[in-house]
C-alpha cells in the first residue's frame, strides 16, 4: 500500500507521471523587488505560458487573485512560495538590502486552501550560523506540516550568501541537497552548476531534482542538463522580459518531455 | 481580480458596484497621535462624514465599539478596522502635534481579522513600512503575511498601506519604492492598497497597473485649500485609482460633510473641480444625467419638490425617473431633466416663459394663458401642469439645483453651457 498516495498524486501535477519530468517557471521575485519586466500585468503574462509548462511558482497573493488561471487539466499547477527574503535586493534595486532577512509568509494549510499542488521554500546558504539554523528550523517545521496534508514540499537551495564562493559553490550544493533530503523535502531545486555536480546530486537523491537556470537556456543546454539526471528545470523570472517567451517556453517544454516520450 | 465569496461580498459594500470606486475617510488618528480637535469631536465629525456619502470609514477597534452604531444601515459607509498601531507621528519630523515624543519606531499588530468581523467590519487595514531598515521591513511583512492568511480564512478583504519612510527614502527614489511596495503587498496577499500619491500621474499610473489590485490614494496632511486636495484626487483618478482614503483633509475640514460630498462628486460623479467648487457660477450651466449611475431612489425628485413646494411628494417634481420596463432588465433607470433646450420658450406665444439673464427658466404668471403649449413642446415631457393650469418648470433652483446636491449617485450633474437658447 502506498501511504503517500496524496503526495504522489499532487506531485504528478508537476512532474509528469509518464516521463518523470517537468518544466517549472518561477514568478515570485516580484514580492521582493516589485513587478519585473514582462510581469507587470501578471494575468496577461501567465495566460501566455500556463498551458506550456508543468508548474508555476507563485506567491500566495497572486495565487488567490488569479486562481482561475492555474491548475486543472493541461494547465500549470500552482506551487506556492511560502517564504520571502530580501537577499535578492542588490544595487539595481531602489532599496538595496544591507542585512539579509527572510521570513515565512504563509503555511502549508493556507497554501492547501489556495489550491496548491505543492509548496516551495528556500534554503539560503552562506549566511551566518544563526540565520542558517533558523532557516533549517522553519523548513523542518514546514516539512512536518506538509506531511499530514499530503502536500509535496520543494526546497529551493540558494547558494547566495557571502560564505559561498567559486571555491565551495559546487560542494555547497551537495551539502544543501543532503541537508534537505534528510529534512524531509519531497523535491529539490538546485542552482545551475557543473554537469558533474548535477549528475552526482541527481543520482544520490531519491527525490526529484530540478535545476534552477540562470537564464533561458538553449535546447542543447537543456538537453545536457536533462541527461545529467535532472527531473526538469526551473526558469527564472527574467524569462518574461524576452519578447518571444511564450514560444521559448513551448520549445523548452517540448525539449524536456519529448526525449522520454519519443 | 478573483476573490472568495466572503471577500467579494464585503468588498461590494466598500466599492460602489456601479463604478467600482470608493471614497473612504480615515478616522483613526486618535489611535496613533495626539488628541487634536478632530479626534475629540470624532462622533460629530463621523456623522457628517456619513451624511456626505462616504463609502467607507477607517476606525480603530475601540472606536468601532464606541461609535460603530453610526455605521448601521445597508447604505451607510463600510467599516474598515485599523488592525495595527504605530508611533511614527511621535518620532518627530511630522507635522502633527506631539506631546510625548518617541525614540524608536514601533509597529505592532493589535487586532485579529476575527476581531474585525465581530464588530461588523468590511475590511481591515494595516501598514507596510518600507525604507526604515531591513529588520523593520521584515517585521512588517511578517505581520502582513499573517493578516493575509487570517483574512483568507474568514473571507475578509485586506487593505495594505505601504509607507515609504526612513533614511533610505529620498525624493529621488520614493516613487520607485512606492511602485515596488504596491506590487510586493499584492504578492503577499493584499486585496487593495491605501497608498500615498507618487507626485505625478505617470508614476502613479505605473503603480496602479503593476499592483493589479484596487488602489486607494491617501490624502496625507491637511491641504491649505480644498482645491489642492481635490486636485490630488483628480490626478489619482486619471492614473486609474479606485478611490480615496482621506483623513485629515476631511476630519479637519470646516465642513466635513461638504468635503466628503465634493470628493464623492469627483470620484463617482465625474464632476470637475471647477464644477464642485462652484466656479461654474461664473457662467451658465444646465443639468445633465448619467443614467448608468441612477439607482432609482427618487431622492432627486423628493429634494426638488421639497425645495419648490415645501412637501415631500414626487408629483410636482421638475424631473422624472423612468423605470426599466418589465423584461428589459438590462435597461437602467433613466433620470429625465430639463436640458434648457429652449423649445418651451419658443412655443410660448405670450412670452410668459423666458430664460433669465442668470440662465434660469422663468415664468411670468401674469402673462401665462394656461395654454400648455410649453408642456406640449417639451421633448422630454418634464413640464407638468399644476392644478391652476400653470406649467411646473425647472428653474435650476436659482443656481443651486437641489437634485444635483442630493443625488449621492451623481446621476444628475451640471455641465457648463456656452450659450443660452431661446429668447432672454
Whether B214 and B294 share a structural domain: no
Cα→Cα distances A69→A50, A74, A149, A260, B381, Å: 7, 11, 23, 28, 51
| Closest residue by Cα to residue A117 from A177, A70, A157 | A70
Band (pLDDT 50/70/90 cuts) for residue A33 is very high
Which residues neighbour A137 within 8 Å (Cβ) at sequence distance 6 or greater?
none
* Interface contact B154, partner A, CB < 8 A: no
Contact between chains at A34 and B212 (C-beta distance less than 8 A): no
B163 and B63 part of one domain = yes
Residue B248 in any domain: the answer is yes
> Which CATH fold would you assign to the domain A5-261?
TIM Barrel (3.20.20)
pLDDT of A215 strictly over 60:
yes
Task: List chain B pLDDT tens, one digit each, 424 residues.
Answer: 788 788 999 999 999 988 999 999 999 999 998 888 889 999 999 999 999 999 999 999 999 999 999 999 888 999 999 999 999 988 876 666 678 888 899 999 999 999 999 999 999 999 999 999 999 999 999 999 999 999 999 999 999 999 999 988 998 999 999 999 999 999 999 999 999 999 999 999 999 999 999 999 999 877 878 888 999 999 999 999 999 999 999 999 999 999 999 999 999 988 888 778 865 445 688 898 888 788 888 889 998 988 888 777 778 889 988 887 666 555 578 889 998 888 899 899 998 998 887 788 889 999 999 999 999 999 988 999 988 999 999 988 888 888 988 887 788 888 877 776 654 4
CATH code, domain carrying B345: 3.30.70.20
Residue B411 lies inside a defined structural domain of this protein = yes
Strand pairing report for B84-86 and B158-164 = unpaired
Domain end point (choices B246, B276, B306): B276
Establish, for the pair of chains A and B, how many residue pairs have beta carbons separated by less than 8 Å: 114
| Among candidate residues B196, B191, B233, B229, the one with its CA nearest the CA of residue B212 | B191
pLDDT attached to residue B309 = 82
User: What pLDDT was estimated at residue B41?
Assistant: 93
Kindly report which listed range (A82-86, A123-127, A137-141, B277-281) carries the lowest average pLDDT score.
B277-281
Q: pTM, whole model, 2 decimals? A: 0.77
The answer to whether residue B424 sits within a structural domain is no
Q: Are residues B285 and B269 in the same domain?
A: no
Q: Are residues B163 and B292 in the same domain?
A: no
Contacts of A110 in chain B (CB under 8 A): 149, 152-153
Residue B305 resides in a domain:
yes
- Beta strands B284-289 and B243-246: pairing type? unpaired
Residues B247, B388 share a domain: no
* A47 interfacial to chain B (CB closer than 8 Å): no
CA atoms within 13 A on the CB side of A134: 11
Does any domain span residue B423?
no
Q: Is A200 on the interface with B (CB under 8 A)?
A: no
- Please, is B304 exposed, middle or buried when counting C-beta atoms within 10 Å of its C-beta (0-12, 13-18, 19+)? buried
Identify the domain boundary among B276, B304, B329: B276
**Whether residue B316 sits in one domain with residue B256:** no
- What residues does each domain of chain A span? 5-261
Whole-number Å distance between alpha carbons of B301 and B306: 8
Question: Minimal Cα distance from B206: which residue of A?
Answer: A40
Asked which of B220, B242, B276 is the last residue of a domain, the reply is: B276
pLDDT tens sequence across A163-207: 999 999 999 999 999 999 999 999 999 999 999 999 999 999 999
The answer to whether the Cβ–Cβ distance between A105 and B186 falls below 8 Å is no
Q: What is the pLDDT of residue B102?
A: 87
In this structure, are B9 and B145 located in the same domain?
yes
Same domain, B206 and B320: no
Q: Specify the pairing of strand A232-235 against strand B412-417.
A: unpaired
CATH of the domain at B147: 3.20.20.70
Those residues with Cβ within 8 angstroms of residue B121's Cβ, 6 or more apart along the chain or in another chain = B10, B64, B78, B79, B80, B81, B156
Same domain as B261, residue B364: no
Judge if B195 and B334 occupy the same domain.
Answer: no
Quote the number of domains for chain B.
Answer: 2
Could you tell me the residue range of the domain that residue B136 belongs to?
Answer: 5-276
d(CA B256, CA B48): 6
Residues B291 and B327 in one domain: yes
- Using a CB-CB cut-off of 8 Å, the residues of chain B touching A66 are 2
Contacts of B135 in chain A (CB under 8 A): 99, 101
Q: Are residues B269 and B294 in the same domain?
A: no
Supply the DSSP symbol for B323: P
Of the candidates B2, B149, B209, the beta carbon closest to that of A65 is on: B2
Amino acid at each position: 500500500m502506498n501511504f503517500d498516495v496524496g503526495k504522489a498524486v499532487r506531485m504528478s501535477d508537476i512532474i509528469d507521471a509518464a516521463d518523470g519530468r517537468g518544466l517549472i517557471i518561477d514568478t515570485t521575485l516580484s514580492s521582493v523587488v516589485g513587478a519585473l519586466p514582462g510581469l507587470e500585468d501578471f494575468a496577461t503574462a501567465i495566460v501566455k505560458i500556463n498551458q506550456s509548462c508543468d508548474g508555476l511558482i507563485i506567491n500566495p497573493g497572486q495565487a488567490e487573485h488569479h486562481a482561475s488561471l492555474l491548475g486543472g487539466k493541461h494547465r500549470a499547477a500552482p506551487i506556492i512560495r511560502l517564504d520571502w527574503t530580501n537577499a535578492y535586493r542588490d544595487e539595481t534595486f531602489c532599496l538595496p538590502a544591507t542585512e539579509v532577512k527572510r521570513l515565512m509568509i504563509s503555511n502549508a494549510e493556507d497554501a492547501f486552501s489556495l489550491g496548491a499542488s505543492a509548496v516551495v521554500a528556500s534554503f539560503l546558504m552562506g549566511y551566518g550560523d544563526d540565520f542558517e539554523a533558523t532557516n533549517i528550523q522553519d523548513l523542518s517545521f514546514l516539512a512536518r506540516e506538509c506531511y499530514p496534508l499530503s502536500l509535496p514540499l520543494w526546497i529551493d537551495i540558494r547558494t547566495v550568501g557571502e560564505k559561498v564562493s567559486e571555491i565551495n559553490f559546487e560542494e555547497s550544493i551537495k551539502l544543501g541537497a543532503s541537508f534537505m533530503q534528510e529534512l524531509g523535502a519531497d523535491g529539490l531545486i538546485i542552482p545551475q552548476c557543473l554537469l558533474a555536480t548535477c549528475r552526482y546530486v541527481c543520482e544520490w537523491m531519491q527525490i526529484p531534482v530540478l535545476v534552477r537556470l540562470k537564464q533561458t537556456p538553449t535546447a542543447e543546454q537543456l538537453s545536457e542538463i536533462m541527461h545529467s539526471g535532472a527531473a526538469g528545470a526551473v526558469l527564472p523570472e527574467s524569462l518574461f522580459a524576452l519578447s518571444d517567451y511564450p514560444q521559448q517556453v513551448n520549445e523548452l517544454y517540448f525539449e524536456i518531455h519529448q526525449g522520454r516520450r519519443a | 481580480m478573483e476573490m472568495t465569496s466572503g471577500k467579494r461580498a464585503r468588498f461590494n459594500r466598500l466599492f460602489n458596484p456601479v463604478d467600482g470606486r470608493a471614497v473612504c475617510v480615515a478616522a483613526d488618528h486618535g489611535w496613533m497621535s495626539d488628541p487634536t480637535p478632530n479626534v475629540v469631536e470624532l462622533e460629530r465629525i463621523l456623522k457628517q462624514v456619513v451624511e456626505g456619502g462616504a463609502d467607507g470609514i477607517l476606525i480603530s477597534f475601540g472606536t468601532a465599539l464606541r461609535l460603530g452604531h453610526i455605521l448601521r444601515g445597508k447604505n451607510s459607509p463600510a467599516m474598515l478596522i485599523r488592525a495595527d498601531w504605530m508611533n511614527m507621528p511621535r518620532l518627530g519630523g511630522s507635522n502633527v502635534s506631539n506631546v510625548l515624543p518617541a525614540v524608536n519606531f514601533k509597529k505592532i499588530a493589535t487586532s485579529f481579522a476575527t476581531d474585525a468581523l465581530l464588530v461588523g467590519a468590511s475590511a481591515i487595514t494595516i501598514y507596510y513600512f518600507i525604507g526604515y531598515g531591513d529588520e523593520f521591513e521584515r517585521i512588517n511583512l511578517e505581520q502582513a503575511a499573517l493578516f493575509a492568511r487570517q483574512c483568507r480564512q474568514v473571507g475578509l478583504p485586506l487593505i495594505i498601506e505601504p509607507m515609504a519612510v526612513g533614511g533610505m527614502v529620498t525624493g529621488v527614489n520614493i516613487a520607485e519604492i512606492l511602485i515596488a511596495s504596491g506590487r510586493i503587498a499584492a504578492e503577499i496577499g493584499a486585496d487593495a492598497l491605501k497608498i500615498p500619491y507618487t507626485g505625478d500621474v505617470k508614476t502613479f499610473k505605473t503603480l496602479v497597473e503593476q499592483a493589479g489590485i484596487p488602489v486607494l490614494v491617501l490624502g496625507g496632511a491637511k491641504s491649505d485649500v480644498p482645491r489642492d486636495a481635490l486636485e490630488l484626487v483628480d490626478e489619482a483618478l486619471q492614473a486609474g485609482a479606485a478611490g480615496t482614503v482621506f483623513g485629515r483633509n476631511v476630519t479637519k475640514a470646516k465642513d466635513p460633510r461638504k468635503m466628503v460630498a465634493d470628493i464623492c462628486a469627483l470620484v463617482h460623479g465625474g464632476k470637475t473641480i471647477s464644477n464642485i467648487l462652484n466656479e461654474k457660477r461664473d457662467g451658465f450651466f444646465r443639468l445633465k444625467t448619467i443614467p448608468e449611475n441612477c439607482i432609482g431612489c427618487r431622492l432627486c425628485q423628493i429634494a426638488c419638490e421639497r425645495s419648490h413646494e415645501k412637501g415631500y411628494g414626487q408629483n410636482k417634481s421638475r424631473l422624472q425617473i423612468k423605470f426599466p420596463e418589465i423584461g428589459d432588465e438590462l435597461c437602467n433607470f433613466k433620470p429625465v431633466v430639463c436640458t434648457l433646450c429652449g423649445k418651451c420658450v419658443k412655443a410660448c406665444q405670450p412670452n410668459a416663459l423666458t430664460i433669465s439673464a442668470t440662465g434660469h427658466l422663468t415664468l411670468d404668471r401674469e402673462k401665462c394663458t394656461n395654454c400648455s403649449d410649453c408642456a406640449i413642446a417639451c421633448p422630454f415631457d418634464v413640464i407638468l401642469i399644476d392644478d391652476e393650469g400653470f406649467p411646473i418648470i425647472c428653474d435650476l433652483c436659482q443656481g443651486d439645483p437641489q437634485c444635483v446636491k442630493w443625488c449621492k449617485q451623481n446621476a444628475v450633474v451640471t455641465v457648463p453651457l456656452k450659450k443660452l437658447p431661446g429668447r432672454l
